């Protein structure tokens, strides 16, 4: 397993990040399934891309909503993303024509911007979702341990993780709940604070109930009880989620215990009446109770909302809150984009400094190449020149090149504001034919 | 010098308020820490302002309205800083620092800034008695602010119309505990301060004065806050009703601090 060494090995080329990928924005789930990578496949693909000489560094990010291949090309050209696409089609045995319109390609700052937006949750199906940051961290960590990354992708991914953290800490993009279940649980936290040490009762054992239970568990709820008309279903959900299943007949007797009650049952009339909840509050010495009614038709008598220390939210209320939150998250996007722009500028500045260093090495190699050709020609015309004199001439010319390049090398290494001088560096590269062009080609 | 330090503390409190208010809308850990540091800075500057005043008067600055109000604001800041640190909760800082800034601006406008002539020496026991009682009032003021925030938060939760800042405020349970913490601080300060006052008076006069309106109102304050603590744990009162009671109790504190001090008492009239 060879370590990637892009910055050191690459010559006469720009240092860039390239990306190809598909996501929920460009492809349906049937296609995304076919192009996804298991963790092992992701590492194998990274190895193969480097072995084939397409990329110097590679990270494959594959989640249920996106499959993306980030890399640092050995040689930058307009065909690099095509080479990456060819690789993907052969790796997954997908006809090339099927990629059309479903794959996006980015190179340079656009690729880095895309990575930072993904890390911030701005490109996610649910704006600002937090899970993607963990998935990026895992994908990058595995590639790093495997030796598939190098200085450029290390810098890009570490930057992305930092951007993701900053965006979540400094903006509201990921702050407010975006699902009805989570909104209910977060509202309960507005009453009780931390849910550790509190108890919840779930009425119903369907999918909605399961989602809420999942959120309650994630938020550290102390104890969990499940009541359902079918005891078997309640027992199944309780066993899966680490709670306790209770029989339907015991509902009223246990109603005074929980701080949070979540109902999601199919019923024609209220399952919990005002009187039942009034008795429950009495039984719990007036301590507040938070009731989330996700049933349609509603499972809780709406008059119960008038009870002292009872907070009742139904699915419409929570739906409105989720909609408010969606708008609030969207309003925060410009703030997140500003953070991203700041980090792209930092990355580009670092990349420019790295390129500036490499261009001097490229120049030195080119000068020495010319020197050797010239010396071979000229010294060939002087067959009588003693070997020690030949050696002296060679040493002097080598020293001359090193002296000429020492000062610009030092300036490039230590100079500030390299990003602003990128144009000059490009011109220099072009002037000396270090970008692969020559007079013949032009 | 006292005036300049007073303005400086006012400026720092305003800066702290801006930071606290900002984190309600855009959460930022560092800005939150800066808000706390600025509040601590304001308290420090105000301490030096009070110290300057004390030096010029050779007494704790409670013998005039300006000094007394300034001491009250300073103790309110300290109590809040303690409650914020204890409960690790910054989101009500905006209200407290706003109150502090307005209070100091108000006292700059209404109270005479010149220090009074040096009051008669009454000794450290008396100084401690007045300081502790002022501290109690400051702690009750904080519980008043926290109870108001509780009531607003409760109303918002019941109306189901959640605003932008809703998610940043502390949970009802946390607000309830914060309010009770400040009432505990206030009660301890009031009881110890009161006892010290009685001891001082007995040493000076050889008797206790029970009939003074200030003493009667102080006992009433003690009673209403003890009742609040008791009721806030009962089935019928816990929650919004207890918060309403706590907010109402502060009316008696205000009455004691203003009307009683200025018009009713002979024994406790200092300005």
In this prediction, residue A67 has a pLDDT band, given cuts at 50, 70 and 90, of very high
Rounded Cα distance, A228 and A243, in Å: 13
Share the mean pLDDT of chain A: 86
Helices A131-146 & A109-120, crossing angle to 10 degrees? 130
Give contacts of A190 with chain B, Cβ < 8 Å. Answer: 153, 157, 166-167, 169, 171-172
Indicate whether B28 and B70 sit together in one domain. Answer: yes
CA gap B122, B112 in Å, rounded: 23
User: B94 and B168: one domain?
Assistant: no
Clarify whether A64 is annotated catalytic. yes
Residue of B87, B92, B162 to mutate, interface with A, max A Cβ within 10 Å: B162
Q: Is A307 on the interface with B (CB under 8 A)?
A: no
Tell me how far CA of residue B241 lies from CA of A351, B141, B234, in angstroms.
62, 18, 11
Interface of B with A (CB under 8 A): 25-29, 153, 157-158, 160, 162, 164, 166-167, 169-174, 234-241
CB contact under 8 A, B27 and A172: yes
Work out the minimum CA distance from B35 to partner chain A, whole angstroms: 15
Classify domain A6-175+329-346 by CATH number: 3.30.460.30
> In angstroms, what separates the C-alpha of A162 from chain B's closest C-alpha?
15
Cβ distance A321 to B234 less than 8 Å, yes or no, reads: no
Mean of all residue pLDDT scores within chain B: 86
Q: Which residues on chain A are in Cβ contact (under 8 Å) with B241? A: 308
Q: Are residues B204 and B89 in the same domain?
A: no
Domain edge (last residue) among B120, B139, B169? B120
State the nearest Cα–Cα gap between A325 and chain B, in angstroms: 9
| Domain stop point among B120, B150, B176 | B120
| Strand A66-73, strand A310-314: pairing | unpaired
Residue in A189, A287, A313 nearest the CB of B160: A313
pLDDT band at A168 (very low <50, low <70, confident <90, very high): confident
Same domain, B102 and B172: no
Question: Which of A305, A328, A335 comes nearest B164 by C-beta?
Answer: A328
* B173 closest CB neighbour out of A193, A320, A324: A193
Cβ–Cβ gap B160/A321 under 8 Å = yes
B74 vs B40, B51, B69, B81, B138, CA distance in Å?
Answer: 10, 12, 9, 11, 9
Contact B157 A311 (CB under 8 A): yes
A135-149, A197-211, B177-191 — which is least confidently predicted? A197-211
Percentage of chain A exceeding pLDDT 90: 44
Lowest mean pLDDT among B22-36, B57-71, B172-186: B57-71
Q: How far apart (Å, rounded) are the C-alpha atoms in residues B108 and B130?
A: 22
The region that residue B123 occupies, defined by phi over 0 for left and psi between -120 and 50 for alpha, beta otherwise, is left
Q: What is the pLDDT of residues A309-343, one digit of tens each?
A: 999 999 889 888 888 888 888 988 999 999 999 99
Percentage of residues in chain B with pLDDT exceeding 90? 42
Q: Quick one: chain A helix, strand, coil %, rounded to 5? A: 55, 10, 30
Q: Do B31 and B54 lie in a common domain?
A: yes
A327: contact with B, CB 8 A cutoff: no
On whether both B113 and B193 belong to a single domain, the answer is: no
CB atoms within 10 A of CB A414: 9
Closest-CA residue of B relative to A282 is B235
CB pairs under 8 A between A and B: 66
Residues B145-159 pLDDT 10s: 999 999 999 999 998
Residue of A nearest to B158 (CA): A311
State which residue of chain B sits closest to A317, comparing Cα positions.
B160
Give the residue with greater pLDDT, B244 vs A76.
Answer: B244
Give yes or no for residue B14 having a pLDDT over 80.
yes
pLDDT given at position A70: 96
Q: Both B32 and B81 in a single domain?
A: yes
CA distances to A197, A207, A225 from A220, in Å? 8, 20, 14
CA distance A294 to chain B (A): 15
Q: Is the dihedral of CA B229, B234, B238, B243 positive or negative?
A: negative
Nearest Cα to A118, choosing from A16, A219, A6, A17? Answer: A17
Contact predicate A210/A262, CB 8 Å = no
Q: Would you say residue B102 has pLDDT above 70?
A: yes
pLDDT digits (tens, 9 = 90+) for A29-61: 889 989 999 999 999 999 999 999 899 999 999
Domain co-membership, B208 together with B79:
no
pLDDT of A422: 61
Cβ within 8 Å, pair B234-A286:
yes
For A302, which DSSP code?
G
Query: Number of folded domains in chain B?
Result: 2
Categorize the per-residue pLDDT at B234 as very low, low, confident or very high, splitting at 50, 70 and 90: confident
Question: Does the interface ipTM go beyond 0.85?
Answer: no
Query: Do B54 and B154 belong together in one domain?
Result: no
Answer whether B27 sits within 8 Å of A328, measured CB to CB.
Answer: no
Selecting among A5, A29, A33, A64, the annotated active-site residue is: A64
CATH number for domain A180-319, candidates 3.20.20.140, 2.40.30.10, 3.10.20.440, 3.40.50.720: 3.40.50.720
Q: Which domain holds residue B192?
A: 122-271
Partner-chain contact B171 A321, CB within 8 Å: no
**Where do the structural domains in chain A lie, given as residue ranges?**
6-175+329-346, 180-319, 350-431
Q: Are residues B116 and B133 in the same domain?
A: no
Length of chain A: 442
In the block, tokens 């604001």 appear at B73
- pLDDT score of A9 more than 50: no
Residue A187 with chain B: CB contacts under 8 Å: 157
Which pLDDT band holds residue B190 (cuts at 50, 70, 90)? very high
Select from B120, B139, B172 the last residue of a domain: B120
> In chain A, pLDDT over 70 holds for what percent of residues?
89
Contacts of A317 in chain B (CB under 8 A): 160
Average pLDDT for residues A288-304, to the nearest whole number? 91
Residue B265 has pLDDT above 80, yes or no: no
């Amino acid at each position: 397993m060879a370590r990637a060494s892009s910055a050191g090995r690459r010559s006469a080329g720009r240092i860039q990040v390239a990306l190809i990928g598909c996501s929920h924005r460009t492809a349906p789930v049937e296609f995304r399934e076919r192009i996804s990578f298991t963790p092992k496949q992701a590492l194998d693909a990274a190895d193969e891309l480097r072995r084939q000489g397409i990329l110097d560094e590679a990270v494959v990010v594959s989640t249920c909503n996106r499959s993306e291949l980030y890399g640092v090309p050995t040689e930058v050209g307009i065909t690099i993303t095509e080479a990456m696409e060819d690789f993907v089609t052969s790796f997954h045995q997908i006809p090339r024509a099927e990629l059309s319109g479903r794959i996006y390609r980015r190179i340079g700052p656009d690729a880095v911007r895309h990575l930072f937006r993904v890390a911030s949750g701005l490109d996610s199906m649910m704006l600002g979702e937090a899970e993607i940051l963990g998935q990026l961290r895992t994908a990058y960590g595995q590639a790093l341990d495997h030796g598939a990354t190098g200085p450029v992708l290390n810098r890009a991914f570490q930057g992305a993780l930092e951007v993701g953290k900053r965006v979540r800490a400094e903006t509201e993009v990921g702050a407010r709940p975006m699902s009805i279940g989570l909104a209910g649980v977060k509202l309960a936290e507005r009453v009780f604070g931390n849910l550790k040490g509190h108890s919840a009762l779930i009425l119903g054992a369907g999918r909605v109930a399961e989602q809420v239970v999942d959120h309650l568990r994630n938020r550290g709820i102390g104890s969990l009880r499940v009541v359902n008309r079918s005891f078997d279903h309640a027992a199944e959900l309780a066993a899966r989620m680490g709670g306790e299943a209770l029989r339907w007949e015991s509902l009223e007797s246990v109603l005074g215990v929980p701080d949070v009650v979540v109902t999601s049952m199919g019923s024609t009339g209220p399952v919990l009446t005002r009187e039942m909840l009034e008795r429950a509050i009495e039984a719990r010495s007036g301590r507040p109770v938070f009731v989330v009614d996700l049933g349609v038709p509603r499972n809780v008598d709406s008059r119960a909302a008038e009870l002292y220390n009872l907070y009742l939210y139904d699915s419409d209320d929570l739906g409105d809150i989720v909609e408010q939150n969606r708008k609030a998250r969207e309003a925060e996007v410009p703030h997140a984009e500003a953070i991203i722009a700041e980090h792209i500028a930092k990355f580009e500045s670092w990349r420019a400094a790295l390129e500036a260093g490499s261009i001097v090495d490229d120049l030195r190699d080119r000068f020495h190449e010319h020197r050797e050709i010239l010396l071979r020609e000229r010294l060939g015309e002087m067959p009588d020149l003693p070997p020690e004199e030949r050696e002296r001439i060679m040493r002097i010319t080598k020293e001359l090149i090193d002296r000429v390049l020492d000062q610009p090398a030092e300036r490039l290494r230590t100079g500030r504001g390299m990003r602003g001088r990128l144009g000059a560096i490009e011109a220099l590269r072009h002037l000396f034919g270090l970008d692969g062009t020559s007079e013949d080609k032009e | 010098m006292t005036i300049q330090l007073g303005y400086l503390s006012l400026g720092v409190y305003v800066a702290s308020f801006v930071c606290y208010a900002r984190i309600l809308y855009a959460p930022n850990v560092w800005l939150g820490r800066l808000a706390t540091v600025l509040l601590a800075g304001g308290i420090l500057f105000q301490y030096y302002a009070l110290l300057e005043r004390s030096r010029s008067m050779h007494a704790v600055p409670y013998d005039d309205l300006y000094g007394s109000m300034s001491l009250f604001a300073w103790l309110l800041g300290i109590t809040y800083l303690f409650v914020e640190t204890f409960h690790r909760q910054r989101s009500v800082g905006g209200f407290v620092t706003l109150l502090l800034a307005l209070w100091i601006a108000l006292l700059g406008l209404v109270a005479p800034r010149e220090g009074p002539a040096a009051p008669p020496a009454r000794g450290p026991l008396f100084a401690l008695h007045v300081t502790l009682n002022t501290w109690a009032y400051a702690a009750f003021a904080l519980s008043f602010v926290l109870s108001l925030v509780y009531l607003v938060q409760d109303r918002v939760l019941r109306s189901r119309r959640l605003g932008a800042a809703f998610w940043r405020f502390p949970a009802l349970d946390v607000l309830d505990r914060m309010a009770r913490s400040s009432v505990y601080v206030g009660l301890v300060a009031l009881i110890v301060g009161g006892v010290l006052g009685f001891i001082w008076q007995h040493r000076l006069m050889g008797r206790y004065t029970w009939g003074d309106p200030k003493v009667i109102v102080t006992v009433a304050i003690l009673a209403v806050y003890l009742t609040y603590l008791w009721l806030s744990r009962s089935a019928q009162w816990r929650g919004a009703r207890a918060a309403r009671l706590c907010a109402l109790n502060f009316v008696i504190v205000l009455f004691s601090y203003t009307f009683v001090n200025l018009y009713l008492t002979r024994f406790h009239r200092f300005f």
